[in-house]
A and B are shown apart, each in its own frame.
Chain A
């Protein structure tokens, strides 16, 4: 069998056996292993006992830029990692697509932006992206210490590229983590994400 055919068959088999709709709030977050920009390996299940934020990122996307160039994303990263939250920034852009960065480029970019994620995970094959069915940047997933997904969706309630809107937006990361860390029930578990499409490899 030609490798391409074998790959296609494997993909079809995967598509049939995997749940069709990524992750769902209230259910266990799908586990994954990924490599960060320093070559370190991260397994989601190793972070049991902590809250974890997954942030899908594309430096060229105007919606992502809105949150990075105003410092809003870095503020969220600093504020919540300081309280023990693990923040994983994930880049699922394929090589040649908008937002793709090599490890070195990513380290330079995130240092320059003053980002404060726990780690930046490189996902050029889109494996984690497809596992979660992440569709946009910035898209947010929040996982509780038991490994259960407690939030998926938009970063806030203003689906625009206008930086001015950040001041008046209701930020869902702040909302969900404030409630969850205080041991309160989370009042919003899913919202429709907004932004750019994730720049996966062509199918």
Chain B
């Protein structure tokens, strides 16, 4: 329920919108030479920072048509955006949350990244001691944007966050956050079980979810032991699914763990972490995947 405004319900939102848009400007990226291909804006999911509470900041990248930027694991080329935050003393900013990327393939190169637009969000804990008028937040951002060719771009974006009580209104950027959150990976359900079997050239990830899954897609976190150019074999079984990957020739030695995001039909992206069987098992010749 909305709390009635003292100055009339129609006037108040009109005041807030100019504040949000007036203080967070969209910045065209800078690049060493030629035109930039990204617009960047720093936004927050709340119009006001409430002392002692958490809000979310977001770097909203808008890319020219045909260009992409990279996920935390860029795949076979490229690199993820890097951010240096500047927040007042006592304000604590957490790590970036990355929405599920797309798989982008060009010839023998497979990348994980984003086209169109993407919001990379980070939690900001407002100290209980925060007082009006507010705080200036800024971010120095470096990233690589690619179409067929790649260009390093950078921008410094800033945002003034007014400190207010007693409640925090959603900001105009709320829908951007809602869209990003829907693509954030979730923790693995407690009933699921994972198992990783490693042979000389393959890795088999078995995920038991209590039902067969006919399709699956996997996005590996770094350090990434997979050869992405070789198609993944997806084998459903009554209790779940097995994915067999080709191990990358660029990753010598044993693989002890595989972590990443698993996407099953009709399910939110799920974060998976699977430990390999002991090294002795890895030294054995590969066994048949079917039982």
Residues on A close to B: CB < 8 A? 20-22, 24-25, 60-62, 97-98, 133, 135-136, 152-153, 159-162, 188-200, 203
B106 to chain A, nearest CB (A): 6
- Once A189-B252, A192-B248 are accepted as A-B contacts, the answer to whether A135 and B109 lie under 8 Å apart by CB is yes
Which residue from chain B places its CB closest to the CB of A197 in the assembled complex? B109
Which residues on the A side are within 8 Å of B144 (C-beta)? 62, 161
Taking a contact as CB atoms under 8 Å apart, the answer to whether A160 and B79 are in contact is yes
Some 21 contacts from A to B, beta carbons below 8 A apart, are A20-B230, A21-B249, A60-B149, A98-B148, A135-B76, A135-B109, A160-B82, A161-B144, A161-B152, A162-B142, A188-B252, A190-B252, A192-B250, A196-B77, A196-B78, A196-B149, A196-B150, A197-B76, A199-B148, A200-B107, A203-B107
Taking a contact as CB atoms under 8 Å apart, the answer to whether B249 and A135 are in contact is no
Taking a contact as CB atoms under 8 Å apart, the answer to whether B77 and A195 are in contact is yes
Which residues on the A side are within 8 Å of B106 (C-beta)? 197
- Once A61-B150, A162-B142 are accepted as A-B contacts, the answer to whether A193 and B79 lie under 8 Å apart by CB is no
B8 to chain A, nearest CB (A): 52
CA of A50 to CA of B96, assembled, Å: 48
Which residue from chain B places its CB closest to the CB of A129 in the assembled complex? B108
Taking a contact as CB atoms under 8 Å apart, the answer to whether B250 and A190 are in contact is yes
CA of A195 to CA of B76, assembled, Å: 8
Which residues on the A side are within 8 Å of B230 (C-beta)? 20
B69 to chain A, nearest CB (A): 13
Interface of A is mostly: loop
Taking a contact as CB atoms under 8 Å apart, the answer to whether B250 and A159 are in contact is no
Taking a contact as CB atoms under 8 Å apart, the answer to whether A192 and B109 are in contact is no
Which residues on the B side are within 8 Å of A192 (C-beta)? 224, 248, 250-251
A160 to chain B, nearest CB (A): 6
Which residue from chain B places its CB closest to the CB of A161 in the assembled complex? B152
**Digit string of B248-264 for contact with A (CB within 8 Å is 1, else 0)?**
11111000000000000
Which residues on the B side are within 8 Å of A198 (C-beta)? 109
Taking a contact as CB atoms under 8 Å apart, the answer to whether B249 and A194 are in contact is no
Of the candidates B79, B109, B224, B227, the one whose C-beta lies within 8 Å of that of A161 is B79
Of the candidates B79, B108, B148, B151, the one whose C-beta lies within 8 Å of that of A135 is B108
B77 to chain A, nearest CB (A): 5
CA of A188 to CA of B253, assembled, Å: 10
Most A CB within 10 A of own CB, among B76, B106, B144, B250 = B250
**Digit string of B143-159 for contact with A (CB within 8 Å is 1, else 0)?**
01010111110000000
Which residue from chain B places its CB closest to the CB of A66 in the assembled complex? B152
CA of A61 to CA of B108, assembled, Å: 18
Taking a contact as CB atoms under 8 Å apart, the answer to whether B79 and A159 are in contact is yes
Taking a contact as CB atoms under 8 Å apart, the answer to whether B250 and A152 are in contact is yes
- Once A62-B144, A153-B250 are accepted as A-B contacts, the answer to whether A98 and B79 lie under 8 Å apart by CB is no
CA of A13 to CA of B152, assembled, Å: 40
- Once A197-B107, A203-B107 are accepted as A-B contacts, the answer to whether A136 and B152 lie under 8 Å apart by CB is no
CA of A162 to CA of B81, assembled, Å: 12
